[in-house]
Structure 1
Amino acid sequence: MTPHDAALLAGAGFLAGVCNAVAGGGSLITFPTLLATGLPPVTANVTNAVGVWPGYVGGVFAFRERLTGHGRTLLAPMIAALIGAICGAVLLLLLPSSIFKAIVPYLILGATGVFAAQPLITRTLNRLTAPKAAVPVPVPVGGPVNGPGDGPGDAPGDGTGDGRSEVPADEGAGEPALERHFIAQLIGIFLAGLYGAYFAGGLGIIILAVLMLTMTADILLLQGMKSVLQLGVSSVATLAFGVFGPVHWLSVLVLAPACLLGGNLGGRLSKLLKPTALRVVVTVFGVVIGVRMRL
Structure 2
Amino acid sequence: MWPEAIAIAAAGFAAGMINVVVGSGTLITFPILVLLGYPPLVANVSNNLGLVAGGVAGTIGYRREIAAHRGFALALLPVALAGGLAGATLLLVLPSSAFKAIVPVLILVGIILVAIGPWIQGRVAARTTRSSAADAPAEPDQAAGIPGGPGRRLGIIATIFVLGVYGGYFGAAQGILVVGALGILTTVSLGSVNAVKNLLVTGVNLMASIVFILFARESIDWAVVGLITVGAGLGGLLGARVGRRLPPALLRAIIVTVGVVALANLLLNS
User: TM > 0.5 between the two?
Assistant: yes
- Of the structure 1 ranges 248-257 and 211-220, higher mean CA displacement relative to structure 2 is found in 211-220
- Of the structure 1 ranges 71-80 and 229-238, higher mean CA displacement relative to structure 2 is found in 71-80
Corresponding residue of 1:287: 264
Query: CA–CA distance in 2 between the matches of 1:176 and 1:251?
Result: 40
Taking only the aligned residue pairs, the percentage that are identical comes to: 30
Corresponding residue of 2:40: 41
| Amino acid in the other structure paired with 1:259 | A
| Amino acid in the other structure paired with 2:83 | G
Structure 1: gaps of 5 or more residues: 135-159
**Which among 97, 109, 117 is matched to residue 122 of structure 1?**
117
Query: CA–CA distance in 1 between the matches of 2:113 and 2:224?
Result: 29
The change in CA–CA distance for 1:22 and 1:82 in structure 2 (over 3 A counts) is closer
Offset of residue 38 of structure 1: 1.3
Corresponding residue of 2:182: 211
Query: Are 1:73 and 2:41 counterparts?
Result: no
Corresponding residue of 1:261: 234
- Of the structure 1 ranges 205-214 and 25-34, higher mean CA displacement relative to structure 2 is found in 205-214
**Which among 94, 99, 104 is matched to residue 100 of structure 2?**
104
Count of aligned pairs: 256
Corresponding residue of 1:224: 195
| Amino acid in the other structure paired with 2:100 | V
Which structure would you say has the larger Rg?
Answer: 1
| Amino acid in the other structure paired with 2:165 | L
TM-score (norm 1): 0.71
8 Å Cα contact 1:106-1:290 kept in structure 2: no
Q: Runs of 4+ in structure 1 displaced over 6 angstroms?
A: 166-169
What value does the CA root-mean-square deviation take over the aligned residues?
A: 3.6
Query: CA–CA distance in 2 between the matches of 1:208 and 1:44?
Result: 25
Query: Are 1:28 and 2:27 counterparts?
Result: yes
Corresponding residue of 1:90: 89
8 Å Cα contact 2:85-2:207 kept in structure 1: yes
TM-score (norm 2): 0.77
Query: Are 1:7 and 2:6 counterparts?
Result: yes
- Of the structure 1 ranges 83-92 and 226-235, higher mean CA displacement relative to structure 2 is found in 226-235
Query: CA–CA distance in 2 between the matches of 1:30 and 1:118?
Result: 25
8 Å Cα contact 2:76-2:160 kept in structure 1: yes
The change in CA–CA distance for 1:167 and 1:73 in structure 2 (over 3 A counts) is farther
SS state of the match for residue 24, structure 2? coil
Corresponding residue of 1:60: 59
Offset of residue 243 of structure 1: 2.2
SS state of the match for residue 171, structure 2? coil
Deviations along 1:215-239, whole A, 9 cap, x unmatched? 3434444333222221211110111
